[in-house]
Amino acid sequence: MKDRLIHIYDWLQTHRRWLWIGVIAVLVPLIGLAVSLRYNEDIMDFLPATAEEREAFQRLQAQESASRLVLIIEGDSLREEALDECAELIPDLQTDALDQMEQLYAQLPYLIADSVYDRFDSLFTPEAIHKALERDKAILATPGASVLATAIQSDPLGLISLSAFSDQLSAHRTYAFYETPHGSTETKHNAALVDSLNAVAQQVSEHYPNLSIRWIGAPVISVGNARRIKTDTLVCIALSLVLIIALLAYAFPRKRDLWLILLAVNFGWLFGMAVLRIFTPTVSAVVLGIGSVLIGIAVNYPLHLLVHQRYTTSVRQTLDEVLSPLVVGNITTVGAFMALIPLQSTALRHLGIFASAMLIGTILFCIFVLPHLMSAEPTPVREIKVKGDRIASGGGKMIGEWVIVGITVLFGVYLAYNSVSGHHSPLFDSNLSHINYMTEQQRTDIQAFAMKKTDAGRWTEYWATHDRQAVMAIIETEAQEVGFRPEAFTPFYDTLTDWQPLPDFEISDLAKRLSDDFDYIGLCCSLIVFIFLWLSFRDIWLALMAFVPMALSWVWILALMQLIGLQFNIVNIILATFIFGQGDDYTIFIVEGLLYEYRTGKPILPQYRQSILLSALIMLIGIGILVFAVHPAMHSLGTVTLIGMSIVLLMATTIPPLLFRLYTRFQLRKGGDNGKR
């Protein structure tokens, strides 16, 4: 393959016109496809949900009033006056306390404690019902109990303790509700609505300085998350761009080289978007946001070419020496990302397509176009110095390598012990609230306002074997004796006869399913990468030499995450594929460099290692900078990147030289000199 690609380069060198005609012919449809791609912010695209689960989620959102915003007015006095002023400024504000109680009791079976379910039989006897109705009558006779009338109509037998609503009925808090017409996750339109509602709260607060007036609810949290992400992204991107440009400007003093790197990566990005558009008209904006991590991988290809040009006398020689590891690294990385395509999650399928296409587009540009834009003169590249340069040189036995192997063994034992003993925290956190950005006040308000739900399946199971009509008849009889009208408890009768459970749907279950999918991804990526390595090197020992550092990297990553209490989540777990894809590029170049030096005696590892270091630093800066983000999901991305990429770089530059020395000692000297191919 390398000879054929070199032949194409030679032909294009003498037919430049056809090269640029081809470039234009490719760019026009790519641009047309890319600009027609549309974006959404639907979290369900990110989860492995079936069509039925999507429908259930929508029904659940509607029935649980997830699009509701709650106005909290907190203070000792003048709350009702402040609420009236808010109602004047917000025409659709729901301030009726009776409506609020009806909404609380709409899902009565979910609010019944397990201990109450255990004594259901005793609650529905004539004696117990008569006693409960006498208690209801006494409560209604007390001053100010009118707001409790709805509670008694909906739950005359006291299946729910009124203390469960103690915070909602607090003497220091008043609540009102507002329904957004845009749903809970449509942050674009809800942002303007939340701003206007906050403006009203601020205006009223100026008239009542002793009151705290604020909004909570899913739409408020969604808008806050979106804005926090945008702020963190802008700050971190600005900082990372400054650092990356400074790094590249230092490494490549010639501005022309910076533009060539930018051209290659941008073409790859455009190619990825165009190919994705062929498969789908709409993609989650999160996919392209996470896809920005790919820049750290895609930049490998132009970096390797430009850095290596420093050590050769012509572009053709550079291609001859770099093409093999470049193409093999691309194939294995693309194969790893293609493992995402069969997943049920729409967003991850799209990410697999986009990532694979972007890397293919970048490598195509670097093979067929970039060499014709590069200067024939050696590229001026400043060497990046780091400690431990001798480790990657492959020369001499390094104590540090054996220390790393020893630590790896200890980490492996640690992971095995934790797995058997069960003394470790789960590596995957399926609780989506942990990656939501909320202020401390918002968390407190939501915890105080939210009702703890129980298993409503017990309600359905009980009435499947008991006579509802008989219970209703007893209530009607006892109600008349106590002094209630027969129709006084119609809402409770409706719950007995017509209540339907909410759709059986848990986002956390889907998040856990996504975690299980990554068991498949880990195995699939491993097999794909190893098979391609074996086919490329045509020697199982050389394939293992390039593969083992990645396997050891995961031992370190998992052990360190357990040691410091860091967990994967629905966002940062995607980096597993990125780190794996980046790691195989590094090990392939190191192994190819070791083989080249063994065959020719000419040193080549220094230039390979320079491009690896540049690539790793760009990845660490570009994504690792997110460790300074405030948003929990983005912060976790930065933390995992810093840990993962540092370990991958360490393993890629230390383990292959050690294994290569063992390989040459015990394999090549036995007469099978497969390394000199």
Q: Is residue 436 part of a domain?
A: no
**Confidence class of residue 345 from pLDDT cuts 50, 70 and 90?**
confident
The model's pLDDT over 379-408, given as tens digits with 9 standing for 90+, comes to 777 776 655 444 444 444 455 677 787 888
Domain tally, the chain: 3
Does residue 406 share a domain with residue 539? yes
Average pLDDT across the chain, whole number:
81
Check residue 308 and give its pLDDT: 82
Give mean pLDDT, residues 250-278. 91
Domain-terminating residue out of 331, 353, 382? 382
Check residue 357 and give its pLDDT: 95
Tell whether the model's pLDDT for residue 348 goes beyond 90.
no
Q: Cα–Cα distance between 577 and 582 in angstroms, integer?
A: 9
Does residue 527 share a domain with residue 492? no
Check residue 272 and give its pLDDT: 93
Tell whether the model's pLDDT for residue 25 goes beyond 80.
yes
Strand partners, 177: 70, 94
Check residue 385 and give its pLDDT: 63
Q: Cα–Cα distance between 250 and 658 in angstroms, integer?
A: 32
Enter the DSSP assignment of 391: G
CA angle 345, 351, 357 (to 5 degrees): 140
Does residue 417 share a domain with residue 368? no
Residue 621: CATH number of its domain: 1.20.1640.10
Helices (H), 252-345: 255-279, 285-291, 295-298, 300-308, 315-338
Does residue 199 share a domain with residue 158? yes
Does residue 567 share a domain with residue 418? yes
Q: Is residue 232 part of a domain?
A: no
Tokens 């290692």 sit on residue: 609
Does residue 291 share a domain with residue 154? no
Q: Is residue 371 part of a domain?
A: yes
Q: Is residue 178 part of a domain?
A: yes
Judged by average pLDDT, the poorest of 258-262, 596-600, 606-610 is 606-610
Does residue 286 share a domain with residue 147? no
**Confidence class of residue 254 from pLDDT cuts 50, 70 and 90?**
confident
Check residue 391 and give its pLDDT: 42
Exposure string for 93-118, b = 16+ CB within 10 A, e = fewer: bbbebeebbeebbbbbbbbbeeebbe
Q: How far is CA 530 from CA 159, 329, 468, 649, in A?
A: 61, 12, 64, 19
Tell whether the model's pLDDT for residue 455 goes beyond 90.
no
Check residue 669 and give its pLDDT: 59
Tell whether the model's pLDDT for residue 594 goes beyond 70.
yes
Give mean pLDDT, residues 582-606. 84
Does residue 513 share a domain with residue 372? no
Containing domain of residue 401, as a range? 388-424+506-677
DSSP assignments along 19-74, one per residue = HHHHHHHHHHHHHHHHHT-EEE--GGGGS---HHHHHHHHHHHHHTTTTEEEEEEE
The model's pLDDT over 291-312, given as tens digits with 9 standing for 90+, comes to 666 777 788 889 888 888 877 8
Q: Is residue 246 part of a domain?
A: no
CB within 8 Å of 5: residues ≥ 6 apart? 319, 323, 327, 367
The model's pLDDT over 494-521, given as tens digits with 9 standing for 90+, comes to 999 888 876 666 666 666 676 666 677 7
Q: Is residue 431 part of a domain?
A: no
Tell whether the model's pLDDT for residue 535 goes beyond 70.
yes
The model's pLDDT over 211-237, given as tens digits with 9 standing for 90+, comes to 999 998 888 888 888 888 778 877 887
Domain-terminating residue out of 382, 413, 444? 382
Q: How many CA atoms lie within 13 A of 487 on its CB side?
A: 0
The model's pLDDT over 307-324, given as tens digits with 9 standing for 90+, comes to 888 778 888 988 888 888
Does residue 537 share a domain with residue 418? yes
Does residue 585 share a domain with residue 462? no
Check residue 194 and give its pLDDT: 92
Check residue 140 and give its pLDDT: 83
Domain-terminating residue out of 382, 416, 445? 382
Q: Is residue 401 part of a domain?
A: yes
Q: Is residue 557 part of a domain?
A: yes
Tell whether the model's pLDDT for residue 93 goes beyond 60.
yes
Does residue 489 share a domain with residue 375? no
Check residue 506 and give its pLDDT: 62
More confident position, 328 or 165: 328
Does residue 46 share a domain with residue 165? no
More confident position, 33 or 325: 33
φ and ψ of 428, to 5 deg:
-120, 130
